[in-house]
């Protein structure tokens, strides 16, 4: 596996967090990476975190990394935005190193959040 920083995706993520007022996400504690060489067939992106035990042992707060696999770049911009929103929705309001599960992070909720994002972006000057 090869990883590289994805500053362009971090900028898109920041725009979404700011426009959607997802205030619980500490943007300076979330990074985006592109990965190459994964054998996952269906995965386009995934979110990683530093678990509680590691946070305590290292005496640091929660940190999240969103990994975008090669397939992500082949999607159109709208589908990419939905994937970014999907991964952001996995980060819980506690921002403590856990995850929100797919009972909340589902297509219906991603679509609603994406529509909200598009509406806010249209009105943003």
Query: pLDDT, tens digit, for every residue of 39-60?
Result: 988 999 999 998 889 999 999 9
| pLDDT value at residue 93 | 95
How many structural domains does the chain have?
Answer: 1
* Confidence check: pLDDT of 65 > 70: yes
Domain of 33, CATH number, reads 3.30.2010
pLDDT digits (tens, 9 = 90+) for 10-29: 999 999 999 999 999 999 99
Q: Give residue 48's domain range.
A: 2-123
Question: Residue 8, Cβ neighbours under 10 Å: how many?
Answer: 10
Give the tokens for residue 80.
């990419």
End-to-end CA distance of the chain: 40
What integer is the mean pLDDT of 70-94?
97
Q: What is the mean pLDDT of the chain?
A: 94
Strands 64-69 and 30-36: parallel
């Amino acid at each position: 596996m090869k990883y590289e920083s994805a500053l362009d995706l971090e900028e898109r993520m920041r725009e979404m967090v700011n426009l959607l007022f997802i205030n619980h996400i500490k943007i300076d504690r979330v990074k985006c990476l592109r990965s190459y060489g994964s054998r996952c067939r269906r995965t386009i992106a995934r979110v990683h975190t530093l678990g509680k035990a590691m946070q305590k042992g290292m005496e640091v707060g929660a940190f999240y990394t969103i990994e975008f696999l090669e397939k992500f770049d082949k999607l159109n911009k709208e589908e990419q935005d939905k994937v970014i929103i999907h991964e952001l929705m996995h980060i819980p309001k506690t921002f403590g190193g856990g995850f929100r599960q797919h009972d909340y992070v589902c297509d219906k909720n991603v679509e609603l959040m994406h529509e909200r994002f598009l509406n806010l972006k249209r009105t943003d000057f």
